[in-house]
């Protein structure tokens, strides 16, 4: 009963006044006992009735929804991640899981948000794709032809971003990224990220980023060829010391928790700036460095920009039920 009540309230929340539906929306669920319109992400994508501009709501489940070959302009919305570690996220702390997503040209202007994803492959001439507020293993640029206007925003990327094909007019903003290594032909604007490992970039603009890696922790190579570097902070000498960049900064003076003993903070919450942080106001234009400032401040748990039910209590009372709900918006 609670699962059915939750699903109903979830749909009502998505359709609430803070979220405008401009096309048809579809429910994808593989939960036992549910009666969804689709049970896998690929079947939803491939259905003839699912048209360009439609939205797929991917319900939280312990069962992975599988791989996706993506060739339509769709919006995919999941439940968020690290939900038990941060306050006022979701009453149901299970995530919406996907394996490998391969995005092709037909998916231009598509968006995915709030999902837990193994890998994302961007293939050839794909353009105008928004990858926002997801927990992702790896993002890779593949193929022989250039893409453009790829926007990777507010994600937690545990492995890294890599590229073997060219792309342009793209942005990587307000993420946590383990490694960031793009081919010589790839250019991007890289703003307000926390980068935990190696850097290999060519002809990119980097501002207000924080690189946490030291050679004792992880291979921390930094090859930044023909890049514009302003107001970045490095735990070693990743960015040098000109143009407002800082080197050899103790990360213990930057974040609320670094170097162990961080059990009171979530995996993403630990990268918030501490009071008096050297990164506060040290960014380009006087803003803070790091992923919680800038154009798209990072949202804990990757909460999608729709209302979320963060408290749900169902009490049977005879033939009726007393339902208490608390909903919060995460725009």
Dump the DSSP string for 276-305: T-TTTT-SGGGPPPSTTSSSS---GGG--S
Q: Is the pLDDT of residue 54 over 80?
A: yes
The pLDDT value given to residue 4 = 46
For the ranges 165-174, 262-271, 319-328, the lowest mean pLDDT is seen at 319-328
The pLDDT value given to residue 239 = 97
Residue 146 or residue 126, greater confidence = 126
pTM of the full predicted structure?
0.89
Report strand pairing: 308-317 vs 320-328: antiparallel
Mean pLDDT of the chain: 87
Query: Token pair of 303, please?
Result: 């909460």
41: pLDDT confidence band, cut at 50, 70 and 90?
Answer: very high
Average pLDDT for 152-176: 93
The pLDDT value given to residue 327 = 60
Q: Is the pLDDT of residue 42 over 90?
A: yes
- Dmax over Cα atoms in the chain, in whole Å? 71
6: pLDDT confidence band, cut at 50, 70 and 90?
Answer: very low
Buried/exposed code over 94-127 (b: 16+ C-beta within 10 A; e: otherwise) = bbbbbeebbbbeebbebbbbbbbbbbbbbbbbbb
Alpha-carbon separation of residue 262 from 2, 86, 209, 270 (angstroms): 34, 13, 22, 7
Q: Is the pLDDT of residue 255 over 90?
A: yes
- Cα separation, 22 vs 24, whole angstroms: 7
The pLDDT value given to residue 87 = 87
The pLDDT value given to residue 80 = 96
Average pLDDT for 138-143: 91
Q: Is the pLDDT of residue 174 over 90?
A: yes
For the ranges 170-179, 186-195, 277-286, 318-327, the lowest mean pLDDT is seen at 318-327
Average pLDDT for 279-305: 96
The pLDDT value given to residue 19 = 41
Residue whose C-alpha is closest to residue 122's, from 97, 98, 99, 148: 148
- Cα separation, 143 vs 20, whole angstroms: 35
The pLDDT value given to residue 322 = 62
Alpha-carbon separation of residue 15 from 35, 67, 308 (angstroms): 19, 27, 11
The pLDDT value given to residue 20 = 44
Q: Three-state DSSP class for 327?
A: strand
pLDDT tens per residue, range 211-252: 999 886 777 889 999 999 999 999 999 999 999 999 999 999
124: pLDDT confidence band, cut at 50, 70 and 90?
Answer: confident
Provide the percentage of residues in the chain whose pLDDT is more than 70.
85
């Amino acid at each position: 009963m609670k699962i059915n009540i939750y699903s109903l309230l979830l749909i009502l929340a998505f359709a609430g006044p803070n979220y405008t539906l401009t096309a048809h929306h579809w429910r994808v669920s593989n939960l036992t006992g549910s009666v969804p319109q689709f049970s896998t992400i690929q079947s939803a994508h491939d259905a003839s009735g699912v048209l360009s501009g439609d939205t797929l709501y991917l319900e939280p489940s312990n069962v992975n929804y599988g791989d996706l070959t993506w060739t339509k302009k769709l919006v995919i919305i999941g439940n968020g991640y690290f939900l038990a570690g941060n306050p006022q996220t979701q009453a149901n702390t299970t995530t919406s899981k996907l394996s490998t997503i391969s995005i092709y040209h037909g998916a231009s202007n598509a968006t995915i948000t709030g999902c837990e994803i193994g890998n994302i492959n961007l293939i050839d001439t794909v353009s105008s794709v928004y990858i926002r507020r997801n927990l992702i293993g790896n993002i890779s640029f593949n193929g022989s032809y250039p893409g453009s206007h790829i926007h990777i925003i507010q994600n937690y990327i545990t492995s890294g971003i890599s590229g073997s094909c060219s792309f342009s007019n793209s942005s990587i903003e307000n993420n946590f990224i383990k490694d960031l290594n793009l081919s010589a032909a790839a250019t991007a604007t890289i703003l307000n990220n926390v980068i935990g490992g190696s850097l290999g970039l060519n002809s990119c603009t980097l501002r207000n980023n924080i690189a946490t890696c030291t050679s004792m922790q992880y291979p921390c190579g930094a090859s930044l060829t023909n890049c514009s570097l302003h107001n970045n902070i490095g735990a070693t000498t990743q960015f040098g010391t000109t143009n407002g960049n800082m080197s050899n900064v103790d990360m213990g003076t930057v974040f609320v928790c670094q170097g162990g003993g961080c059990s009171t903070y979530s995996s993403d919450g630990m990268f918030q700036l501490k009071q008096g942080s050297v990164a506060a106001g040290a960014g380009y234009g006087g803003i803070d460095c790091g992923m919680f400032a800038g154009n798209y401040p990072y949202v804990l748990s990757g909460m999608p920009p729709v209302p979320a039910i963060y408290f749900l209590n169902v009490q049977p009372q005879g033939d009726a039920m007393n339902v208490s709900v608390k909903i919060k918006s995460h725009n």
